Each structure stands twice: as C-alpha cells, then as structure tokens.
C-alpha cells in the first residue's frame, strides 16, 4: 500500500476523525465508487472529495473526539 495513504489514514484514526469522513477519503483516494445515495453523509462526501484530490488539509474539521 502507498505510504502516503497509510500515514494519512493512521493520523486520521489517531486524531479521532469521523468514521464516515475516513471511509469517504479512503474510497476517493482509491477511486472506488461512492456509496449508494441513501447512505451518503456530509462527512463521507467531504472525505470522498478530499481523497480524490489526495488532500489531507481538511480532515481536522471532522474530528469528533
């Protein structure tokens, strides 16, 4: 696995980032299709967009713990 991906996900998990954001970020980064419409959340969609761009600048907004 890509070291950038691993480091980003590890940091998000350690900082208590919302699970939906992390899952969205992972799917976007890996270019997986989005979840079905009824399961989309604001956090997931934000994570997906950031993951597509390989962006780690916005995840701190989604810290829940």
DSSP 1-65: --HHHHHHHHHHHHHTB-HHHHHHHHHHHTTPPPPPGGG--HHHHHHHHHHHTT--SSGGGGB--
The burial of 19, by beta-carbon neighbours within 10 Å (0-12 exposed, 13-18 middle, 19 or more buried), is given as middle
pLDDT in tens, 13-37: 999 999 999 999 999 999 999 999 9
Number of domains observed in the structure of the chain:
1
- The per-residue pLDDT for 65 is 64
- The per-residue pLDDT for 35 is 93
Q: Whole-prediction pTM value?
A: 0.93
Task: Decide if pLDDT at 1 tops 80.
Answer: no
Host domain of residue 11? 3-61
pLDDT in tens, 35-50: 999 999 999 999 999 9
The answer to whether 30 and 6 have CB atoms below 8 angstroms apart is no
**Alpha carbon distance 16, 13 (integer Å):** 5
């Amino acid at each position: 696995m890509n070291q950038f991906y691993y480091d980003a996900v590890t940091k998000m998990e350690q900082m208590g980032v919302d699970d939906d954001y992390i899952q969205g970020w992972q799917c976007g980064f890996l270019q997986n299709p989005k979840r079905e419409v009824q399961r989309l959340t604001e956090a997931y969609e934000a994570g997906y967009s950031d993951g597509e761009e390989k962006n780690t600048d916005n995840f701190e907004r989604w810290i829940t713990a």
